[in-house]
Structure 1
Amino acid sequence: MSDDQVCYTFDAAVEMAIEMENEGFRNYLAAIRRLTNKGARELLRDNALDELDHKHQLEKALLEGRMEGGEALDKPIPTMHLDYVFKKQELGPESGVREALVYAIHLEKGAVDFYGKVASGCSGAPMGQLFQQLLKEESRHLQALEDLYEQHFMTEN
């Protein structure tokens, strides 16, 4: 059985999600520390704070034994799949907002893929709803980042 076909207990599922959010935060933090461009640092800072917020919500759910709010994912949230267009690259001190945005898109796409696989494996189980909610939130973040990229860096003919 592959990882995307496994369902977990509530505690194990939430612990996995907490680790996923913590890893995302750490990736953003490491990138922020390498950057000198103020706009790029601010962009990644905002995304790092989102990761902390998710982690806090998940830790609260772990304490309470349930996840609050969130309706089921009715349909996938469309994205432009910019992660396929742009190569994932590490950020350096001279990286700008464009590079930071592409970096953030790749991090969010990783979270979308992770939550999508686990939600699929837990389909029909109580944990399926939790991971569907997390998938929806991460998909919204990915869409917002792609929209931001389109708005600032993609010109129309």
Structure 2
Amino acid sequence: MGYIEELRSLVGTRPLILIGVVVMVLDQQGRLLMVECDKKWKLPGGYIELGESAEEAGIREIYEETGLTIDNLELIGVFSGRNFFTKLSNGDEYFPVTLAYVTKDIQCGRLTPDGIEVQKAEFFHRPFLPEDLCIRDQHILQSYQMIESIVNR
């Protein structure tokens, strides 16, 4: 049983604050890695386990979900607040605090979705990203584009 499952066994479906990470993984062509979970496309990532750094969690989640080994994560920003409130179909409620990173450092591995959490994993050119991205991912991509435009002036 993982950390979140242990918390849920104590508090039921009451709202929790959960800390997670997502990683914008860019390949050599500048394409963005997206994963499909439950027929919805999103940035890959997950929750931080006890004793794990945010960067370690990001690296672990990318490997678990996609089979890729990455490194050199750069923080984009922290995304939180009532706009990101989530209620799952099982009744669990939470307010996520998401640390978003970017990396272009794909060290090795073969892009292979895990088949459990992730049904598909693909690299997309940014103008052709899936259209129905969640609010969190829209905010992260907008923040990254803003940072990119400032740096490239």
Greater Rg by CA: 1
* TM superposition score normalised by structure 2: 0.29
* TM superposition score normalised by structure 1: 0.29
More strand by share: 2
